């Protein structure tokens, strides 16, 4: 696996996190940022970082999004068990919530992180997720 060199700390004390194992940013933002004891990720969609392809169902998309998020966390030696807060955007909240939640449940175990799930207009995807993970010792 190819790792991107760790970025030096910014004047604010934050550090950007980058990995080739998650989709590249589509704009002026980092895949993740460590600030103090926490790692904040960008909102990730379901693009496969190797192919750029997007799976079809909300369950498949949720699984790919969480694999993308997990890849960013792994760059700092963290896993999904370090996640304390999840924000989820669903393009079709009422229609897709049950299938999303079933796929989501395959990635997290109790005690579950807190979560906010909202309906949002998304750009040709069904789900986008960002997380906050505790990175302290």
77-93 in b/e form (b: 16+ CB < 10 A) is ebebebbeebbbbbbee
Would residue 9 count as lying in a domain?
A: no
- Structure confidence by residue, pLDDT tens digits, 50-74: 999 999 999 999 999 999 999 999 9
The interaxial angle of helices 58-74 and 93-105, nearest 10 deg, is: 50
Confidence class of residue 11 from pLDDT cuts 50, 70 and 90? low
Q: Specify the DSSP element, H or E, that contains 100.
A: helix 93-105
Mention every residue, 6+ apart, whose C-beta is less than 8 A from residue 108: 80, 83
Q: Output the CA angle 126-20-15, nearest 5 degrees.
A: 95
Q: Which domain holds residue 69?
A: 15-134
CATH number of the domain bearing residue 115: 3.30.1330.40
**Model confidence pLDDT, tens digit, residues 86-122:** 999 999 999 999 999 999 999 999 999 999 999 999 9
Work out how many domains the chain is built from and give that number: 1
Report residue 99: phi and psi, to 5°: -65, -40
Structure confidence at residue 9 as a pLDDT band (50, 70, 90): low
Answer whether residue 1 is part of any domain: no
Q: Is residue 6 part of a domain?
A: no
**% pLDDT > 90, the chain:** 88
> What is the reported pTM?
0.90
In this structure, is residue 7 part of a structural domain?
no
Averaged pLDDT score across all residues of the chain: 93
| pLDDT digit string, tens, across residues 19-39 | 999 999 999 999 999 999 999
């Amino acid at each position: 696996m190819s790792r991107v060199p760790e970025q030096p700390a910014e004047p604010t004390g934050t550090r950007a996190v980058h990995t080739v194992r998650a989709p590249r940013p589509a704009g002026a933002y980092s895949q993740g940022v460590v600030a103090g004891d926490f790692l904040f990720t960008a909102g990730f969609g379901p693009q496969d970082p190797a192919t750029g392809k997007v799976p079809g169902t909300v369950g498949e998309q949720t699984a790919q999004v969480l694999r993308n998020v997990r890849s960013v966390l792994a760059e700092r030696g963290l896993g999904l068990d370090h996640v304390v807060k999840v924000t989820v955007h669903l393009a079709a909240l009422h229609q897709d919530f049950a299938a999303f939640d079933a796929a989501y449940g395959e990635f997290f175990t109790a005690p579950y992180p807190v979560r906010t799930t909202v309906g949002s207009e998304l750009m040709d995807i069904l789900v986008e997720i960002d997380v906050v993970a505790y990175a302290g010792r």
